[in-house]
Structure 1
């Protein structure tokens, strides 16, 4: 296909995405489900060329910015507090699901080598960050469950990808060492953390020196790909590198970004993430035609693959239930024995967590990267695509219903000491103190009475002023300087409360957004 035709096809795909999103909103359907179904339908439009997906390009193009977006807004304190639970899901559940799928596959296909069975399990085991984000944005979960699911989606791809690479190498070479694989896994993780922290530190130092808003946003956009590519080039986990860099940048953005950069960067990222997420699900649907073309006869899927594929899909879903309920029962027993202070999730929350195991682009991309020499490669491709369809279309669309019926309780220990209203009062007190310091002259006379009466408008201040144009402009500038100082004081108080663990990330972002808008208005009025 000519390059111009490929570009026209991409534009057409984004137009279809907008239409499918609109239809999903009108029908109250999850956009991810509408995009997969719509992409699958578009793939069979007569005259449309088959879409060939390069799995390596998919991973490096889509995964870093979507992981970065998730890590950027991850609450650090709850993330650390629930690290044991997150690792249990991101590593323990991935390894357990891989083992269950490998055993079930070996029982169904005895001739298939164990390493190939493990490779299939590694492909299907990690829930997808993109699919999780798409669903979690539409439901309301208790903070603890939201933190666990978001943390799992950020870290589990690393475990799945490492398992997959070792299993494929074992198939091709016929050798495998559990000790070497375990040691390599921890080296990949530690190396990814180091690379991501280094990229994040460079970003913080760089942004302190860049004075242009556009350059700062561009530098921020490139962090995710820089971290991922650097990690892969250094043979460590690029996924962990991106997550670490995103956590670092999200932590420091409150002190290195100006209000204008934060507002513009947020708008830019929202559009970028929307297009990338939508493109991911559409490409999953479009890839259906390529898989069917490879199989040749669709009847072959029903005749020879239907039973093993359905059995493996059931194993993937049940393995998550087994791991989460068993782990929660162990925590409950250890807590009764006084050995741990962690609280079990409870049956209702465990049900929701077990049902929230959607697969997506990582599963598809890794499946498509299987070497041609892999035994039963066609079966693995069909199984991967079926798992994606079932988990997104069935689990993803019904998760909201499950949450409404289960009604998992909020963990009181997960709530911050201050709620939104208390944090807002603290911010207002800090602003008032800043205004009072600047609103009096050396003799103690009030020189900015309008600020003490909830900020008079520029026009009112200008009409009330009696003097020359230059004196009037200077007075207006001083007026808005005090407003800007008040905004800075309020932001500093919010950051202090956040760093002290008194407020959560959601409260910080909400109130900081209000301050950013107030500061932009003051800067514009002053100018």
Structure 2
């Protein structure tokens, strides 16, 4: 139960961070998550919280790295293989040497093997933390890609170097040939196992897609289990589980690129699930870091002031050494294939990118996991300097996050959007209203038009529009007045005068006068809530007074009343006849109003870009005709999928025309195309084709 509660609290912490993030936009999300984790450490269940490294690597790091592998196309990995090796291997080794040299010059009395172990722990970088700090900043795209490629593979480098350092510390010696052989076995073995097992699992999923009755129920869970199965298999065989899941992710990316139009629904659902899971897990990593801080602080208190100051200074020196190493590595590179990532050699752009690359060397999840995975005992004796190494590693993580969160906004310029939010909202509204007007012009049932229009309205950010007093602005009332005049003229036309009595037409004309004229007044039926409440109160008093609560009681009371007042029977019969005639006339007026809205009024509003009133007019008319027909219950209308496809086609055409006419740019058009695709996919997944 405590495990389930811990997981629920960790998820709750991430949700809390997402809720409060909009109120602290200048604070990176990673720092907010760490702070919330620190606050959650006050809960009794998290007292003296200690990370279980096996749990951490298996349940958190493995799926994160699998998704990272899926997000990088295989062709891009192959094209930049030399850069990846340089970043994840040679730069990592260069950093380890620098950190080991810095650590050995401090009065820590650590053996050389442990200084190398610490260096291996702090080598892995975390691009997730960097991305949370560069939101809204103009990070060079290629430079950001180099950070992602580095982070994708240097985790395994750190793991292997840590194993080598611990082996050397345990045995007291380690030959270079043995070390290189072990490195190649762990790294290449992990990649091979991940690729082979992933290929077999992909083949199994393809087979299931064509040979089982419900493939989604099988293939999606199988995909979700893939990183865990492959990680366990690779670790069991003594290779790198991290590199194995990265390789598996790349194979799955290759599968997706080759099978783009096969089992599309499964691919959409799987991608959505993985995006949600990894976002949640990335947040949990920093929450766990916050939970671990009180234990680290208690360790420093137990060390005393002198040793704690020494360790903090060492952590700062290690960070500066890593920053300098990354800066020099980028500055001194002369390879042509690194020019795209870091700019031309000796240029000002190269110097700027070198500084950014150094600052972006943020450490996080894997560094924390490696530090906490150190064994507590070796040969039956306590692991020496264990707490000191864990404290230094945690301080390096915090320093890298704090420095990057302050320095990156100073080095990077603010991102300039290719379109403003106001432009997006305005164009989206025009697009949706244009599609609705096109739908209104089609020749099919008005209930279908109404249901389809309501669905399209949900594409807007604020959802369906609700009438309130602020809607009845100066530019809206003249449109209402125009509609009233047109409807009254229709009532006076020959076709209506010949088919309906003067009494019926007079009644309906009065309904229009009260229901649509000056809708902002208190007499408007949609606005007069107090009047409706008083009417309901009178009904309740009447039922209690006459004791007519059931249908049979009301029928008996009505028959008794009519027997005592026979003159009322004729009036009631006349009223019923008029009511039926008014309902029939209401349907005809509604059809005419639909035609009216879809012709010259709609064209005029679109021509003047006055579509903000289209939704208001449509809503007002729908409510009016429903109230006249006493349609207080919602009619369930099944909209055929063909109508949705037609409506989304109208939206596509609108965006395309706006782009051709250069009223919007390509970035804004792509955003709207993406939104239409999402809406279309979601809607069509919920529709049962007849």
Gaps of 5+ in 1: 408-452, 464-475, 487-506
Whether contact under 8 Å (1:132, 1:150) holds in the other structure is: no
| Partner residue in 2 for 1:283 | 288
Within-5 A mapping of 1:79-98: 79-98=77-96
| TM-score, reference length from structure 1 | 0.73
| Partner residue in 1 for 2:174 | 176
Gaps of 5+ in 2: 210-214, 377-381, 416-434, 446-639, 650-668
Within-5 A mapping of 1:93-492: 93-109=91-107, 111-128=109-126, 130-132=128-130, 134-135=132-133, 139-211=137-209, 212-254=215-257, 255=259, 257-293=262-298, 295=299, 298=301, 300-331=303-334, 343-344=344-345, 346-372=350-376, 373-396=382-405, 398-404=407-413
The Cα of 1:462 is off from its aligned counterpart by 7.2
| Partner residue in 1 for 2:457 | none
Cα distance change on mapping 1:457 and 1:264 into 2, 3 Å: farther
C-alpha separation in 1, matches of 2:130 and 2:111: 32
Q: Secondary structure at the match of 2:387?
A: helix
C-alpha separation in 2, matches of 1:513 and 1:247: 27
C-alpha separation in 2, matches of 1:37 and 1:162: 32
C-alpha separation in 2, matches of 1:19 and 1:520: 27
Whether contact under 8 Å (2:327, 2:358) holds in the other structure is: yes
C-alpha separation in 1, matches of 2:442 and 2:411: 55
Cα distance change on mapping 1:291 and 1:315 into 2, 3 Å: closer
C-alpha separation in 2, matches of 1:279 and 1:9: 11
C-alpha separation in 2, matches of 1:5 and 1:201: 38
C-alpha separation in 2, matches of 1:253 and 1:275: 23
C-alpha separation in 2, matches of 1:185 and 1:368: 22
| Partner residue in 2 for 1:493 | none
Whether contact under 8 Å (1:33, 1:397) holds in the other structure is: no
C-alpha separation in 2, matches of 1:235 and 1:253: 29
Whether contact under 8 Å (1:154, 1:243) holds in the other structure is: yes
Using CA pairs below 8 Å that are at least 6 residues apart, which structure has the higher relative contact order? 1
Cα distance change on mapping 1:250 and 1:194 into 2, 3 Å: same
The Cα of 1:385 is off from its aligned counterpart by 0.9
| Partner residue in 1 for 2:621 | none
The Cα of 1:47 is off from its aligned counterpart by 7.8
Cα distance change on mapping 1:171 and 1:235 into 2, 3 Å: same
| Partner residue in 2 for 1:526 | 689
Whether contact under 8 Å (1:217, 1:261) holds in the other structure is: yes
Cα distance change on mapping 1:90 and 1:6 into 2, 3 Å: same
Cα distance change on mapping 1:290 and 1:311 into 2, 3 Å: closer
Whether contact under 8 Å (2:98, 2:321) holds in the other structure is: no
C-alpha separation in 2, matches of 1:272 and 1:47: 24
- The two structures, once aligned, show a CA RMSD in angstroms of 3.6
Whether contact under 8 Å (2:99, 2:321) holds in the other structure is: no
Cα distance change on mapping 1:246 and 1:390 into 2, 3 Å: same
| Partner residue in 1 for 2:618 | none
- For the pair shown, which has the larger CA radius of gyration, 1 or 2? 2
| TM-score, reference length from structure 2 | 0.57
The Cα of 1:174 is off from its aligned counterpart by 0.9
Whether contact under 8 Å (2:362, 2:397) holds in the other structure is: yes
Q: What do residues 431-465 of structure 1 show as CA deviations (whole Å, max 9, x unaligned)?
A: xxxxxxxxxxxxxxxxxxxxxx9xx98996977xx
Whether contact under 8 Å (1:128, 1:360) holds in the other structure is: yes
Q: Secondary structure at the match of 1:176?
A: coil
The Cα of 1:17 is off from its aligned counterpart by 2.6
| Partner residue in 2 for 1:441 | none
C-alpha separation in 1, matches of 2:207 and 2:675: 23
Q: Which one is further off, 220-229 or 157-166? A: 220-229
Cα distance change on mapping 1:363 and 1:19 into 2, 3 Å: same
Whether contact under 8 Å (2:195, 2:247) holds in the other structure is: yes
1:13 aligns with 2:10: yes
C-alpha separation in 2, matches of 1:364 and 1:38: 17
C-alpha separation in 2, matches of 1:404 and 1:509: 23
The Cα of 1:153 is off from its aligned counterpart by 0.9
The Cα of 1:219 is off from its aligned counterpart by 1.5
Q: Which one is further off, 302-311 or 164-173? A: 302-311
C-alpha separation in 1, matches of 2:291 and 2:173: 36
Cα distance change on mapping 1:87 and 1:357 into 2, 3 Å: same
The Cα of 1:357 is off from its aligned counterpart by 0.9
C-alpha separation in 2, matches of 1:398 and 1:192: 37
1:22 aligns with 2:19: yes
Cα distance change on mapping 1:174 and 1:306 into 2, 3 Å: same
C-alpha separation in 2, matches of 1:205 and 1:12: 38
Report how many aligned residue pairs link the two structures.
436
C-alpha separation in 2, matches of 1:250 and 1:508: 23
Q: What do residues 142-171 of structure 1 show as CA deviations (whole Å, max 9, x unaligned)?
A: 331122111111100000000001101111
Q: What do residues 189-242 of structure 1 show as CA deviations (whole Å, max 9, x unaligned)?
A: 221221121122123212222242232221111121122112111211111111
The Cα of 1:361 is off from its aligned counterpart by 1.9
Whether contact under 8 Å (2:315, 2:395) holds in the other structure is: no
The Cα of 1:182 is off from its aligned counterpart by 1.1
C-alpha separation in 2, matches of 1:364 and 1:80: 30
Whether contact under 8 Å (1:116, 1:375) holds in the other structure is: no
Whether contact under 8 Å (2:17, 2:33) holds in the other structure is: yes
Q: What do residues 97-156 of structure 1 show as CA deviations (whole Å, max 9, x unaligned)?
A: 211111111111373211111011111122135434544666543331122111111100
